Amino acid sequence: MVRTIDWVDGAVEIIDQTELPARTVTRRLSTVDELVAAIRALAVRGAPALGVAGALGVALAARQYRDAALAGAVHRLETARPTAVNLARGVRRAAARLADGPDAVLAEALAVRDEEIASSAAMAARGADLVTELCGPAPRLLTHCNTGGLATVVGGTALGVIAELHRRGALGGVVASETRPLLQGARLTAWELGQLGVAYQVAVDGAGPFLMARGMVDAVIVGADRICANGDVVNKVGTYAHALGAQRAGIPFLVVAPESTVDASTPTGGDVEIEDRPADEVFAFGGRRVVPDGAAAINPAFDITPHDLVTAIVTDRRTLRPPY
Amino acid sequence: MVRTIDWVDGAVEIIDQTELPARTVTRRLSTVDELVAAIRALAVRGAPALGVAGALGVALAARQYRDAALAGAVHRLETARPTAVNLARGVRRAAARLADGPDAVLAEALAVRDEEIASSAAMAARGADLVTELCGPAPRLLTHCNTGGLATVVGGTALGVIAELHRRGALGGVVASETRPLLQGARLTAWELGQLGVAYQVAVDGAGPFLMARGMVDAVIVGADRICANGDVVNKVGTYAHALGAQRAGIPFLVVAPESTVDASTPTGGDVEIEDRPADEVFAFGGRRVVPDGAAAINPAFDITPHDLVTAIVTDRRTLRPPY
């Protein structure tokens, strides 16, 4: 499997996600500023992958700069994007080794990468075991948004479980919901499933609950942006509607996310500020604006799935079931 | 107000809904096959409008064909699309007058048209009364797909109620869900609301249930393609997910549709053939294909909302409440 991000011969190499699925372009980033630009452009995205990008960026910086220039480069990396805590965390972890020289920094960055890979593998194995336990030998799974190797380094969270089931010959089918407005499902999840050789069908987001009611889906499996202390799950908008559909259909609704996503300091989903994003994301289709002039939009980027709709939460270390 | 479909100087004239909102184009359809193609392409759509289209199509057929060719034309009209009961019903009603000659067929088709216009006005008044009774003086309503004058002849069903509330000064706001894959909400409902001077916000379909959970919606109001004997509602895909959201949020879920949509001969939603439409509808965004080559899609055009999720059904003659 191709790694989304890696260290190759003294530089960072990424799969440019802005080019997918039309073209698979590997970009070689030899300087800190090239990497920062790639992060800003979402050429590399996904919280775990950003953590690795930040750590590898410090390894570049340690070879490229000294003294004040080095500190400035580390700061540019740390602040390349504001939201994902993983980016700053990866930067700081590698930067803590700067006093020991470039090789020590690189070793730490590679450790961050390897831990992400190991975490994905652990979630995949644990999640696949759980799906088989709950759904039998050939479940048809529905997943939302993109939670595969593109968001981590290789493997993924929910999509990593799907890939593992495929490797075990224990997967009956996949529905990838397209994930409006930015189509992470139709663009990225579809591309990853194609790379893995997994047969899939894309569905519009509104169809998911009906496909469950029709008996065409055996379980829903998604990632998470944050898991609250009471088990409420913050994830890409559209997740909650799928959870309601799963509950009504009487099928499992499973969440797969690393331990770093579990946030014991946030009591409930109601305590999370949900980002409202620009209307233009909703209105632009392939560069064409489909709505009338003067239209407004309401565009929450995430939603909250209450814990009573969540059958189980799988992390790299635990499988949590109610009561959370 | 402009009529979506009408009989003008010996031909059927429609507003081509595939061109909206960019351009308002009136198309003149002089043959049965032109009309069938327009129905298949969704240039004219919406259950009540399809009933009128079917009836006017038989009027065209009566002038264009005789004997076996006439029967074939009637059959092509009746089967142009499978789900909305109105189309076949409009066709059969006009076809029942074929023995009396083309003028009698046309008179019957025009009666179907006039009854739809009167029906829209009756639903608007009855539905607006009900919304005010259930939700108070300034409700914020969410609607799905397009149920305005474009779906009927003039006025509409659910959107006709919204328009009537606006005229009464008794409307607090409107969320129009975009209605993937063909964006009838973002394109057509937004266009109609703009024409009416009603302020609105477009939302992706996956956001609806979360907006309800957030307390931003006071009721959901939709149309129907078919209402079964037990109260199950067949409507545009995505309706069911919104009904689940309304139930969970404890807000009314209202269906507005003419009596012609009520199909006592279909016992339950499970007895309805749901039209699966081509994958290309899901994949094309403004002419650009966003999914990888080789991608498949599952694209049900409609879904089924079980009757227990339906607070009330408003027709041109009755307001139905459970048990149906």
User: What's the pLDDT score for residue B100?
Assistant: 97
For CA atoms A159, A160, A166, A168, the dihedral sign is negative
pLDDT in tens, B204-230: 999 999 999 999 999 999 999 999 999
**B240 to A298: CB separation less than 8 angstroms, yes or no:** no
User: What's the pLDDT score for residue A273?
Assistant: 86
Best residue of B204, B216, B307 to probe chain A, by most A CBs closer than 10 Å: B204
Within an 8 Å CB–CB cutoff, is residue A300 touching chain B?
Answer: yes
User: What's the pLDDT score for residue A22?
Assistant: 86
CA atoms of A236 and A275, how far apart (whole Å): 11
Amino acid found at B289: R
pLDDT in tens, B227-264: 999 999 999 999 999 999 999 999 999 999 999 889 99
**Residues 167-206 (A) with a CB less than 8 A from some CB of B:** 175, 177-181, 183, 186-187, 190-191, 194, 199-206
SS3 (DSSP) at B297: strand
Contacts of B103 (CB under 8 A, 6+ apart): none
DSSP bridge pairs for A313: A255, A320
Q: Tens place of pLDDT for every residue, chain A, 324 residues?
A: 679 999 999 999 999 998 888 889 999 999 999 999 999 888 998 888 999 999 999 999 999 999 999 999 999 999 998 766 789 889 999 999 999 999 999 999 999 999 999 999 999 999 999 999 999 999 999 999 999 999 999 999 999 999 999 999 999 999 999 999 989 999 999 999 999 999 999 999 999 999 999 999 999 999 998 899 999 999 999 999 999 999 999 999 999 999 878 888 899 999 988 888 889 889 877 667 888 888 899 999 999 999 999 999 999 999 999 998
pLDDT greater than 90 at residue B2: no
User: What's the pLDDT score for residue B293?
Assistant: 84
pLDDT greater than 70 at residue B1: no
Best residue of B182, B210, B211 to probe chain A, by most A CBs closer than 10 Å: B210
- Give the global pTM: 0.91
Residue position matching structure tokens 């620009």: A278
A 10 A CB-CB count for A40 gives: 10
pLDDT-derived band at B286 (thresholds 50, 70, 90) equals: low
pLDDT, mean of residues B275-297: 85
CA atoms of B87 and A22, how far apart (whole Å): 40
Amino acid found at A255: V
Q: Where in chain B is the domain with CATH 1.20.120.420?
A: 5-116
User: What's the pLDDT score for residue A226?
Assistant: 87
CA atoms of A85 and A110, how far apart (whole Å): 19
CA atoms of A309 and B22, how far apart (whole Å): 41
A220: part of which helix (H) or strand (E)? strand A219-222
pLDDT in tens, B156-204: 999 999 999 999 999 999 999 999 999 999 999 999 999 999 999 999 9
Residues of B in contact with A208 (CB under 8 A): 241
Mean pLDDT of chain B: 95
User: What's the pLDDT score for residue B83?
Assistant: 75
User: What's the pLDDT score for residue A293?
Assistant: 84
Amino acid found at B65: Y
**B287 to A291: CB separation less than 8 angstroms, yes or no:** no
Chains A, B: CB contacts within 8 A come to 196
Overall CATH class of domain B125-320: alpha beta
CATH code of B5-116, in short, is 1.20.120.420
User: What's the pLDDT score for residue B290?
Assistant: 80
pLDDT, mean of residues B119-146: 97
pLDDT, mean of residues B5-15: 97
pLDDT greater than 90 at residue B288: no
> Would you state the structure tokens that stand for residue A120, as one six-digit string?
């994905």
Q: Where in chain B is the domain with CATH 3.40.50.10470?
A: 125-320
User: What's the pLDDT score for residue A83?
Assistant: 65
Residues of B in contact with A207 (CB under 8 A): 237-238, 298-300, 303
Based on the residue annotation, tell me whether A293 is a catalytic residue of this protein: no
**A180 to B181: CB separation less than 8 angstroms, yes or no:** no
Report in angstroms the alpha-carbon separations of B129 from A177, B143, B218, B319.
38, 17, 15, 10
Amino acid found at B162: I
